[in-house]
Amino acid sequence: MSRVHEALRRAEQTGAVPPPVTRPSAPTGHGIAAPAVEAEPDFADLLSQVEEVPFRAATDSLLIDVSRPHEAPMEEFRTLRTRLNHMKTLQPIHTIVVTSASPAEGKSLSAANLALAQAHLAGNMTLLADFDFRRPIVHTLFGVDRSPGITDYLAGKIPLHKAIRKISGTNLYIMPAGEAVINPLELLNLKEVKQMLDQLPSLFNWIVLDSPPLLFAADAALLGTLCHGTLLVVRIGHTTIDSVTRAMQSLCNNNVLGIVVNGARRGELYSKYTYYHSYYTPKEEGQRHAGVGPEDDAGKVDDDSDRP
């Protein structure tokens, strides 16, 4: 300690400022290293340092295709986007947790497609973050490496910009989960998680978090306390009323923004959208004025073309 005091006294006498002390990463008590001081991000310059990667969605990923805006899935997520953006005008909403009661209900795909729909708007900077450290899938959907990612940043191994990728040609940024960890919940309890989620809205209009199912891990309930709202994904024919009730009760905050219903029959969903958009294409213009329109499967003209 005497050497430190002597150095400070010499600095005061000469007017020089001693260099900042860099603290190495230290265990938190759970075998997790807290981020070093130098790893704190400079948010003013963060996005300029982010790596840009091409859009390499897997062919079987079921991600929406923004280049084909009239397809039914794109329309559905645009509707969800519109409702959320309207809610944002009534209350401050920037960070959203997307979760479900149980596995295999489509929460990860819903989170990814919502982020894609939001990023499709001009200037709508959107971040999709994979906080499902137990079974991450965002990196697979977009064809990027799982690491470096969120867990690597929280463990103090990388600066924040290294955990983010920009999808080329879009307003979408993604944060993969990162390396596998033994104790995900302890990692989420680090103060750096809250600090990051509090500061990221200064860069992004929307931050969408994918998280584990509510009834199988406490991660989503914890993340819900750190975010502005929660979306609960349910699957028709799979999710029970009891599981939805228990999932809602497990949330610590009463900030559920809504329920996303997944798994509608493709035939019903696609027939209405296909009919509506094909009815008003230029090649159908002559038939439309003649009072003839495309027929549905029963061979009759559908009179409900203007219904969603």
- What pLDDT digit, counting tens, does each position of 204-222 carry? 999 999 999 999 999 999 9
Per-residue confidence band for 262, with pLDDT thresholds at 50, 70 and 90:
confident
Q: What is the mean pLDDT of the chain?
A: 78
- Per-residue pLDDT band for 254 (boundaries 50, 70, 90) equals confident
224 token code pair: 């819900």
Please spell the DSSP secondary structure of 227-271, one letter per residue.
Answer: SSEEEEEEETTT--HHHHHHHHHH-SSS-EEEEEEE---HHHHHH
- Looking at the domain assignment, is residue 37 inside a domain? no
Q: Which of 45-49, 255-259, 293-297 bottoms out in mean pLDDT, i.e. has the lowest?
A: 293-297
Q: pTM for this one?
A: 0.73
In a domain, 85, yes or no: yes
**Domains in the chain: how many in total?**
1
Is residue 29 one of the residues assigned to a domain? Answer: no
For residue 224, CA distances in Å to 40, 105, 236, 256 come to 24, 19, 24, 9
Q: Looking at the domain assignment, is residue 17 inside a domain? A: no
Amino acid at 100: S
Specify the CATH number for the domain of residue 218: 3.40.50.300
Residue 228 domain-assigned (yes or no): yes
Contact yes or no for 112/141 (Cβ under 8 A): yes
Q: Is residue 260 part of a domain?
A: yes
Indicate the SS3 state at residue 99: strand
Residue type, 213: P
Buried b (16+ CB within 10 A) or exposed e, 116-135: bbbbbeeebbbbbbbbbbbe
- Domain, as residue range, for 113: 71-266
pLDDT-based confidence at residue 237 (cuts at 50, 70, 90): confident
The end-to-end CA distance of the chain, in Å, is 72
* 103 is a domain residue: yes
- The total of other beta-carbon atoms located within 10 Å of residue 284's CB is 15
Establish if 195 belongs to a structural domain: yes
Nearest to 166 by CA among 135, 202, 204, 198: 204
- On the question of pLDDT at 8 being above 80, the answer is no
